[in-house]
Structure 1
Amino acid sequence: MNDDVVSTYIEDNGQCPLDVFDFREQGVLLNTDYDFSTNPNQCSGNVNHETWSLSGSTLTLTVSTPNGKFEYAYQIKKGTSSEFIIQAPLSKAQEEEYDRNVVALKHVFRKM
């Protein structure tokens, strides 16, 4: 069995903009989440206020939801002036969504 890493980067969001992750100073993260739609009139973005922190090569995102506060730790795999790539092992909840050989998720962020 191979240990695969899959990317979550999707370049097609229909007529809607791609999701935006705005990493600001002092650990502020504004995440504008757009759902896929073929109708540009249905492209309203939901802005989530989150936080981020960096320790060595580990990026931690803290997300508040109605069900509580959750932390996600990612290893920075690549960082340049135009993009950075992070990776994390699958959580138990995510394991059900992917093939058995997928062990990690990769997220690609590109500078706008």
Structure 2
Amino acid sequence: MTGLAAAWQLLRANRPVTLALFESAMAAGPASGQMWQRLVADTAMLRDHLEYSRDRGGQLPGEPTLVAATMGAVLVTLAYALPTDGSATPDDEVVDTLTRLFLHGLAGQA
């Protein structure tokens, strides 16, 4: 299981807690810094992986903390938005789509 798949499964398995924390940080407002602090803390695993990759010559689109937080924001917002009535996109398809988006951007695979 990839790090992204693990992060997605964790979000989905703990959706009520994840969404409560998301809503709490959003309600505090941008000036509080709570959303940024939560994103940075919750994406430490992704950041560590990005730093590991960068330190071994991998190229990143930006600074690892910002890239990881951006990925986390996409994940938590999508977890928040997807319906829970069974009509949502299957988890495997979500992970595959996000993986391609994060690896290749909007331009897609060459």
Structure (1 or 2) with the greater helix fraction: 2
The structure with the larger Rg is: 1
Relative contact order (C-alpha < 8 Å, sep 6+): which is higher? 2
Structure number having the greater strand percentage: 1
Normalising by structure 2, what TM-score?
0.23
